[in-house]
Amino acid sequence: MLDIVGFALPAPVGVRTQRRALFAARTNAGFSHRASANTVFGTHDPCSCTFGNFSLFSFPQSCRTPKLSLTQIAMSLPLTAFGPYRAPTNNTLMLESVSLNEIAERYGTPCYVYSQSALLQSYQEYRDAFQSFDTLVCYAVKANANLSLLRLLAAQGAGFDIVSGGELFRVLQAGGDPRRIVFSGVAKSEREIDEALKAGILCFNVESAAELQRLSERATRLEMTAPISLRVNPEVDARTHPYIATGLRTSKFGVPATTALALYREAQKLPHLKIVGIDCHIGSQITTLEPFLEATDKILELVHQLAAEGIPLEHIDLGGGVGICYRDEDPLSLSAYATALKPRFNKFQGRLLFEPGRRIVGNAGLLLTRVEYLKTIPERQLVIVDAGMNDLMRPSLYQAWHEIVPVDAPRKTDQKVDIVGPVCESSDVLGTGRTLDVQAGDLLAILSCGAYGASMSSRYNARPLIPEVLVHGSQTTVIRRRETYADLIQHELS
């Protein structure tokens, strides 16, 4: 065990070692490291320092002890980036200054819970990393479209990446500036195009020749000019799950790089279109820098070709896709990303756009669920909880891993269990092979659920949508109420 003398607070160095150490400590796994304590930990003020992507926005005052073991530190630090921490008094999970037990008691389970501090700090991380560029960070609304979260980001001056008329409506209702909205998506309807034109959005990210023609027709009919960019597929392997890889020539998204130049030439001839940019989005949950740089280099090659033909661009949109830590991943550093981009853009005078979603909200949220039953079947020990795949689709759809931890002090065990939900599908599995000792009635926290959790939920099996709660310091606010049975039928005709 690595003991740290003095204030055992983390410094923003040795990120990979730090993450592995904390992951090992919180799962009772083995870990050893020969570097000095100063290589891994420093003596920074706990209210302001960061630990890789770990934000100590609620570091317990009582953790300022003369000597802490790595396990003790891990029990006090967030379990995931910007995540909950264990209170030193009773070892129960807290989010900011609120006990998750208290939230479950007040609002019931299952229930989504978000940290306002985590959300805003993640957004600011993007702003800070790329401050040397003329940058617009356009939050990908599809990750989590809750109106209250959109309002928080709009108040910070965020832009927004939308993929539907409904998302446009939400952003405008939240006070978002339409001049900071980019509209992506492969199937923009005439109605959606008209609404976006009338709103005065920044740009349409065009994804096909047919869409380009439709945009021209709608803009002509409305006697308006549509600002456009082409979403270009650079033929880059994002090295992520195939369902969330979008930058290959076989993808339904965007246009192949080989045909993009011809399509730009066609757009230049259409009087009611204005070429303002180029867009690229190669996939999601990407944890290495190389795919982004490979895509950027290919996009910049096309930008130079456009300039040579007299088609200058006002912005380059590099999309989103930067991954987060769900398990023991080592997500890329945004500052390293910015540093690598700097020499590539030293001659470009326009604006740089990004479309992060998961990186901003993913680790800001969790799903609270309660154990209903324990069930032993041949070769499996089941923990049946009240949250299901209708509430959190990612494990069933992508076989995605989410850390699942007890809210109260964990009990030591070697037992492996599968956590399953109540939905009538064999795929309703939230986690397999987890080392947990739980009983009926115990609370569990499913971590890193801020992105593609609530936004992908459904009413399957006639299960009402669950509430969403926002935590800010010691305050909690319901930002989506729990649906009732009456809500399930309110739009149906008898």
Is the domain of 336 the same as that of 376? no
| CB-CB contact of 123 with 373 (8 Å) | no
Q: Return the pLDDT at 276.
A: 99
Q: Return the pLDDT at 23.
A: 43
Task: State the chain's mean pLDDT as an integer.
Answer: 85
| Portion of the chain with pLDDT greater than 70, in percent | 80
Is the domain of 393 the same as that of 344? no
216 within domain boundaries: yes
In whole angstroms, give the CA distance from residue 432 to residue 258: 43
Is the domain of 235 the same as that of 313? yes
pLDDT-derived band at 77 (thresholds 50, 70, 90) equals very low
Domain boundary among 312, 340, 356: 356
pLDDT-derived band at 248 (thresholds 50, 70, 90) equals low
**Does residue 45 have a pLDDT over 70?**
no
Instruction: Write down the pTM of the prediction.
Output: 0.85
In whole angstroms, give the CA distance from residue 238 to residue 294: 10
Query: What range does the domain containing 19 cover?
Result: 3-77
pLDDT-derived band at 283 (thresholds 50, 70, 90) equals confident
Looking up residue 208, the CATH number of its domain turns out to be 3.20.20.10
In whole angstroms, give the CA distance from residue 236 to residue 249: 9
Is the domain of 342 the same as that of 396? no
| CB-CB contact of 395 with 431 (8 Å) | yes
Q: Return the pLDDT at 333.
A: 95
Q: Return the pLDDT at 33.
A: 32
Domain boundary among 301, 334, 356: 356
pLDDT-derived band at 284 (thresholds 50, 70, 90) equals confident
143 within domain boundaries: no
190 within domain boundaries: yes
**Does residue 62 have a pLDDT over 80?**
no
| Portion of the chain with pLDDT greater than 90, in percent | 74
**Does residue 246 have a pLDDT over 50?**
yes
123 within domain boundaries: no
Average pLDDT on 8-25 reads 39
| Interval 138-184: pLDDT, tens | 999 999 999 999 999 999 999 999 999 999 999 999 999 999 999 99
Domain total of the chain: 3
Q: Return the pLDDT at 42.
A: 29
| Interval 196-236: pLDDT, tens | 999 999 999 999 999 999 999 999 999 999 999 999 999 88
pLDDT-derived band at 16 (thresholds 50, 70, 90) equals very low
388 within domain boundaries: yes
In whole angstroms, give the CA distance from residue 233 to residue 290: 16
Q: Return the pLDDT at 84.
A: 86
Domain boundary among 336, 356, 376: 356
Is the domain of 281 the same as that of 326? yes
| Interval 341-400: pLDDT, tens | 999 999 899 999 999 999 999 999 999 999 999 999 999 999 999 999 999 999 999 899
- Chain centre to alpha carbon of residue 381: 31
In whole angstroms, give the CA distance from residue 112 to residue 402: 14
Q: Return the pLDDT at 3.
A: 29
Looking up residue 434, the CATH number of its domain turns out to be 2.40.37.10
| Interval 101-127: pLDDT, tens | 999 999 999 999 999 999 999 999 999
- Nearest CA-CA partner of 341 in 295, 385, 381: 295
Comparing 33-37, 79-83, 152-156, 208-212, the range with the smallest average pLDDT is: 33-37
Which two structure tokens, joined as six digits, stand for 446?
A: 């499913």
Is the domain of 252 the same as that of 324? yes
* Cβ within 8 Å of residue 351, ≥6 positions away: 133, 134, 135, 136, 314, 315, 316
Cβ-based neighbour number of residue 312 at 10 Å:
12
Cβ-based neighbour number of residue 469 at 10 Å:
21
445 within domain boundaries: yes
35 within domain boundaries: yes
**Does residue 39 have a pLDDT over 50?**
no
**Does residue 304 have a pLDDT over 90?**
yes
Is the domain of 327 the same as that of 442? no
Is the domain of 352 the same as that of 321? yes
Comparing 64-68, 133-137, 218-222, 476-480, the range with the smallest average pLDDT is: 64-68
Is the domain of 191 the same as that of 318? yes
Is the domain of 337 the same as that of 381? no
Annotated catalytic, 63? Answer: no
82 within domain boundaries: no
Q: Return the pLDDT at 252.
A: 83
Q: Return the pLDDT at 83.
A: 63
What is residue 394's DSSP assignment?
A: H
Instruction: Determine whether 7 is exposed, middle or buried from the number of CB atoms within 10 Å of its CB (0-12, 13-18, 19+).
Output: middle
**Does residue 13 have a pLDDT over 50?**
no
Return the beta strands (E) in 296-428 as ranges. 315-317, 351-354, 365-377, 380-385, 404-406, 416-420
Is the domain of 347 the same as that of 367? no
Which ranges of 130-221 would DSSP assign to H, the alpha helix? Answer: 147-155, 165-173, 190-199, 209-221
Q: Return the pLDDT at 53.
A: 32
Is the domain of 439 the same as that of 472? yes
Task: Exactly one of 49, 138, 424, 449 is catalytic; name it.
Answer: 424
